[in-house]
Chains A and B, each alone.
Chain A
C-alpha cells in the first residue's frame, strides 16, 4: 500500500494522543505514584488534544476532496472510518471539559473529573479500536485483516502515552520508578505484539495469481499489465520495499521505538539523564512512525496479484516486478513500478 504520510501521522499521533489520555486517566484513577498534579494533568491532556488534532488535521490532507469531509460521519452504522470520525469528534468536548475542569478547579479529584477523565479515555480507546478496525476489516489485505492490528494500535498508543507521561514526571520530579517501569512494560508489550504481528504476516497467503484468475492447473505469469505506466491502482497499492530494506527498517523500529526509549527511561530512573530523557518519547515516536510506515508499505492488496506483483507460494509474477521478494533494489526504485503519480 501507498505509505501516505497523512495516514501514518493520523494513526501515529492520534493513537499516541488517545493513549496519553487513557494513561492520564488511569494514573489519576488509581493515584498511581500519587497521581498527577492538576497542572501536569492539564498539560498532558492538552498535549493529548494537540496530538489528536495533529492526527486529524493530517488525515484531511489525505482526502482528495476535503470539502466533503463533513459527510464522513454519516455512515457510522457500517463504516469503521465513519465511526472513527464520530468518536474522534466526541472525544473533543469531553477531553476539553476535563481539561477545563482540571485547569479551572485546579484539581483532578471529584466525581466530575473522574467521569470526564474516564469518559474521554474510553472514547479515545474506542477511537483507537475503530482506527484499528478500519484496517482489520479489509479482507483484501491479508496483513491487515487480523485482530492483531487493533491490538497493536492499542499497545503502541498506550506505550507512547505512558512514555510521554513517565518522561514528564522524570523531567520535573526526578526518577519515578513506578511510572517508568509501567512505561517500560508497555513498550515491551508493544514490542512483543509487533513481533507476533511480524511473525503472522510472514506466513504465505493461500490466494495466488492462479486462484485469483481461476487458472489453477498451470503456472500463471503476467505477460502485460495493459498499461505502460502507473495507474491509480499501481500508485495506491503497488508500493513495497525490498526484503533487505524492510529488515533494516524493522531493526530500526525495535531499536528506536522500543529498546532506546526503554534504555533512556531506565537511565532516567537512575538520574543519569536530565533533559536527555526527552529522547525517550522522541525516539519512540520515530521508531513507531517507522513501524507505521512498514505497516502500510508491507501491506499487500490482492489487486497486486493481478499485476503480478505479489509473492506467493508459487512463482507467479514477473521476476523483475517481484518487488519485496528479493528483487534488486534498482528495479524497485524504477519510476515505472512506482510511478510519480502524485499531483505535480
Chain B
C-alpha cells in the first residue's frame, strides 16, 4: 500500500498576509492566503512595485517548498568517528551547536581572524553577513557574485555608476527597441516578462541575442544566434557602424561623459594613457571657444570632442573620443570582419545598429518637465531616446565578460540612452560615482574589526589586497594580481585555494546557502574530493566546515556542523537598500518578510543566529559596553541599528512616529508599519529627478540626503577607464606603485586591462584545440526552475526533472547524431555522458543545457533513483576552476582576468555518440543517505487546505 500524504485540515477562516517571495532572487510581493497554518494560495501583490500582481511558476510553487521533505529539522553534527562526506550525522541542540561554534570562532578571532572564511550564496542579506565578517575581523568574506555576475556589475559601475538588473532597468513604459543580450531568465523574472509584454504590445521591437532560442528569446521579434563569448565584438562592430556614419549623441557625450577629456599619449613612458590633469587633479579638455585647455569638469566650457593637442611640456594628448573613434573605426571591427567571429551576418550587424540609431534619433520622445542640471541650469524637458538593453550572465560568465559588458554600455552611451526616458534607467541607490567609492579592507588583526568593508572598488594597484611581496591576502585571491577588480570576491576558488593552502590554510569555512559541493562549483567531482582531503597529519585540509541552509543540499552532506535555516515564509527579513536593492526607476523601494507560518521544526533563521553569535563573541556592533547583547534578535537589530545617523537597513517609516522616509531616527514600530503596508515601502521620486540622475541637481542633492551619495557632485560617465589603465601600466612596468613580479601577471594586465573595451578570445579557449573541441558549451536557465535549489519542488520537478544536451538539428544530423542518442561530451577537463536532443533554436557551433537540474542521488529530499540523479546532469564536471596548465606558469583561476568572474561559459567540447549499450548519465555519484529525523517522502501527495478531500 502506497504511503499517501494527506493534507486535510479543518477549515479555518482564511487569513491574508503580505510578504516577499524568495523562490528566486527577484523578490516579488506576494499575497498569501493562509488556512490553519497552511498556505492556501500565494498570489502576486497587485500593489507591489516589482511584480504588480503577477507571479511566476516558482512563486506559486512556494507552497510545495513549504512541504518539502528536504527541509532540515535540527542542528546536525557529523557523527564522531565517521568520515566527512559519509553522510552520518547526529542531531544536537542549538545550544550545543552554538557553544561549539562560538568556542571555535573565539579562538580563531583571538589569533588570526582570517582563518575563518565566511562565504554566502544567493542570499539577500549580504549587508548583515558582511557586517558580521567585518566585526569578526576576517578579510575572507564575500557573497556569490564572483561566480554569478560580477562582470555585469563591475562593468556598469566602472562605466556609468549603475548596471543591469538590480541597479537599472529598461524604461519599459516607453522603450521602443529592446535588445536582450544572452540568457536572462535568472535575472530577472517577472519584471522582465511584464516589460517584454509592454514593449511588444506597444509595437516596439524586441531583439534577442543568444546562442539558444529559448526562454524570453522565444518571443523575440528577431533572434540573433551568436557564438558564445563574442558579444564584445558584436557590440563594438555596431559601435563601428555608428561611428562610421557619424551617428552618436554629441551633446550627451560632451555633457555627461569623459569623452572630451584629454588623455596623455606617451607610449612606453610612465603616465601614458592617464588623464591629463591640472594641479588640482581636474581632467583637462580643449575649449573650442577659448581655444585653451580648461578644466573639463567646468560647467561653462565648450570642450572639443575630437582633437589631438600638444601640452605645454610637449606631450601629445588626445580626447577620449578621438581614441575611441580611432580604435573602433579600425577595419577589424567592420561588420564583415566581426561576422567571422560572432557568426552573425554582417548585414544583420549593420541593420541592427542602424535600427537602434533610427529609434534613438528619429523616434525621440520628450517629457515636458522642468529640471535643473548639476550646474544649476534649468531645462524644460527631458529628451528620451527609447532604446534599451539588458544583459546578464550570458555576457557576464565569460573571461572577456567585463569588457563585453563595457562594450554594450558603449553602445548605449553613444546612443544617448543612459537614464533617459525610454532608455536604460538607474534604480536607487544608483547611480553611484564612477568608480564607486570605498576600497577593500586590507588589514586584519586579532580581536579587531576591519577598518573597511571586505569588498570595495580598487582604482589603482595600491588598492589591491596583497602583502608587500605581492601575495594575496584573501583566501579567494580577490584583489590580487590574478583578479584585481574582484568586486564580489571569487567564491568559486575558496575550496581549491584552502585545500592547497594557497595562499594559506584556514581553520573554519562557513557556507551559507551555497551549494559549493555541487552546482555552484566548477569541477564538481574534484571539489567533493577536496572537501574530503586530509593532510599527512590525518587532519582535514579544511578542518571545520559549517553549512547553513534550509534544505538538504549536496553541500550539507559534507558539513561537520549543519545549522538549519527557516524558509522565507517563516522568518523576518529585510530587503534593504544597503544590500541588493529592489528599487524601481521611479521609486526608491525596500521590503520585508515576516513570519506567516509558525515553525514546525527545530530550526532558526540564520540572521537571528548570527546576531546571537555576534553577541556571544562580543563583536562591538552586537554588544553593549557591559558585554551584554545589544539586540534581542534580528527584528530588534533591524529596527535600531544605524549605519550612520538616521540610516538603517529599512528606509521606510523611520522617525519615532514613522513619518520620515529614507533618513530618520529608529522607529520602534517600523516592522509593524511595513506589515500594515503590505510588506514594502516605496518613495516616489518627484518627476523632475527621475531622469539623467548622474547630472540632475535635484536628484544628486536628494541622494546625498538619503545617504546614497556622499556628495552632490555630478557623476561623469567614464568611456575611458583611467582606473583600468593604471593596472595596465603596472603590468607594463610603468607604474609608480605596486607592480606584479610574475610574468604571467604582467602579461595579463598589459593585455586585458584595456581602458577602452575590446574583444579578446576567452582565456580557456586560447588554450584548447578548437579543432578537437569544436563546440561552445553553455547553460541556459529554465525560468520555471531557476534558482536551482528549488528542484526538489514537487510541482516544478514534474515540469522538468531531466535535462538534455541541445544541439542544432542540421549540425547534429551532419554528425550522424539523432534525438535521444546518448553522447559523450568531452572537454579538456573531463567527460560526461548525457542524452541529446536536436533542435532548431541553437546556434550551429553551440551546445547547451539547462542549468542545475542534475542532483546527487539522495539529496534535496528526493528518493534514490530520482531522474535528477540518474538522467539529469551538470556541465560543471567539464569546467575546470583553473585554466589549462601552461609550462612555467602557476595555475591560474578560470575567471575573468579583471574581475575574477567565474568563466562558466568559456567551455569548448566535443560530442561523440556513446557506444551501443552505453546509456544513462555518467558520472554518477554515490547515494546520499537520509539525514536523521528526515521527513518521510510520500508516494502520493494530496495537498489540500479544505476540510474535505474528495
Contact = CB atoms under 8 A, between A and B. Distances in A.
A228 B866 CA distance: 12
A229 interface: yes
A319 interface: yes
Given A319-B819, A344-B2, A344-B939, A223 B799 contact: no
A226 B57 CA distance: 13
Interface string A251-275: 0000000000000000000000000
Interface string A311-336: 00000001110000000000100000
B2 A228 contact: no
B867 interface: yes
Nearest to A221: B840
Given A223-B841, A331-B820, A228 B802 contact: yes
A227 interface: yes
Contacts of B839: 221, 223
19 contacts: A221-B839, A221-B840, A223-B839, A226-B799, A227-B798, A227-B799, A228-B799, A228-B800, A228-B802, A228-B867, A229-B801, A229-B867, A318-B819, A319-B819, A320-B818, A320-B819, A320-B820, A344-B2, A344-B939
Given A223-B839, A228-B802, 12 more contacts: A221-B839, A221-B840, A223-B841, A227-B798, A227-B799, A228-B799, A228-B801, A228-B867, A229-B801, A229-B867, A319-B819, A344-B939
Interface of B: 2, 797-802, 818-820, 839-841, 867, 939
Contacts of B800: 228
A324 B875 CA distance: 34
Q: Which of A228, A318, A320 has the most CB of B within 10 A?
A: A228
Contacts of A343: 2
B64 to A, nearest CB: 15
Contacts of B802: 228
Interface in A199-252: 221, 223, 226-229
A263 to B, nearest CB: 43
A228 B820 contact: no
Nearest to A219: B840
B625 to A, nearest CB: 59
The bracket for how many chain A residues form the interface is 10 to 19
A227 B785 CA distance: 13
A229 B840 CA distance: 23
A343 B4 CA distance: 12
Contacts of A227: 798-799
A343 B1 CA distance: 10
A228 B798 CA distance: 6
B798 A229 contact: yes
A228 B796 CA distance: 10
Contacts of A318: 819
A227 B867 CA distance: 13
A227 to B, nearest CB: 6
Given A223-B839, A223-B841, A344-B2, A319 B801 contact: no
Contacts of A229: 798, 801, 867
B810 to A, nearest CB: 13
Interface of A: 221, 223, 226-229, 318-320, 331, 343-344
Contacts of B818: 319-320
A226 B820 CA distance: 17
Nearest to B804: A224
Nearest to A231: B798
- State the 7 A-B residue pairs at the shortest beta-carbon distance, nearest first: A320-B820, A228-B801, A320-B819, A228-B802, A319-B819, A344-B2, A227-B798
A180 to B, nearest CB: 53
Nearest to B806: A223
A86 to B, nearest CB: 28
A334 to B, nearest CB: 8
Contacts of B797: 228
Nearest to A319: B819
Nearest to B838: A319
A293 B414 CA distance: 70
B780 to A, nearest CB: 12
Contacts of B2: 343-344
A223 B867 CA distance: 19
B486 to A, nearest CB: 38
A174 B820 CA distance: 60
A19 B802 CA distance: 51
Contacts of B939: 344
Contacts of A228: 797-802, 867
Nearest to B867: A228
Contacts of A331: 820
A218 to B, nearest CB: 10
Nearest to A334: B820
A228 B797 CA distance: 8
Nearest to A218: B840
B339 to A, nearest CB: 26
A229 B797 CA distance: 10
Contacts of B798: 227-229
A227 B800 CA distance: 6
Contacts of A320: 818-820
B210 to A, nearest CB: 15
A222 to B, nearest CB: 10
B384 to A, nearest CB: 37
A232 B337 CA distance: 53
B136 to A, nearest CB: 44
Contacts of A319: 818-819
A315 to B, nearest CB: 12
A223 B819 CA distance: 11
A26 to B, nearest CB: 49
Nearest to B801: A228
A189 B818 CA distance: 45
A77 to B, nearest CB: 27
A8 B840 CA distance: 42
Q: Which of A319, A320, A331, A343 has the most CB of B within 10 A?
A: A320
A342 B445 CA distance: 65
A317 B177 CA distance: 35
Contacts of B801: 228-229
Nearest to A224: B800
Nearest to B800: A228
A226 B796 CA distance: 10
B186 to A, nearest CB: 19
A64 to B, nearest CB: 12
A223 B818 CA distance: 14
A228 B939 CA distance: 18
A169 B302 CA distance: 118
A176 B797 CA distance: 66
A344 B839 CA distance: 36
A251 B2 CA distance: 41
Nearest to B213: A223
Contacts of A344: 2, 939
Contacts of B840: 221
Nearest to A318: B819
Contacts of B799: 226-228
A171 B579 CA distance: 93
A142 to B, nearest CB: 26
A223 B800 CA distance: 13
A227 B796 CA distance: 9
Nearest to A223: B839
B920 to A, nearest CB: 12
B187 to A, nearest CB: 22
A343 B2 CA distance: 9
A227 B802 CA distance: 10
A318 B839 CA distance: 10
B344 to A, nearest CB: 22
A77 B257 CA distance: 80
A228 B820 CA distance: 13
A343 to B, nearest CB: 8
A309 to B, nearest CB: 13
Contacts of A223: 839, 841
A67 to B, nearest CB: 13
A221 B819 CA distance: 12
A221 B839 CA distance: 9
A340 to B, nearest CB: 13
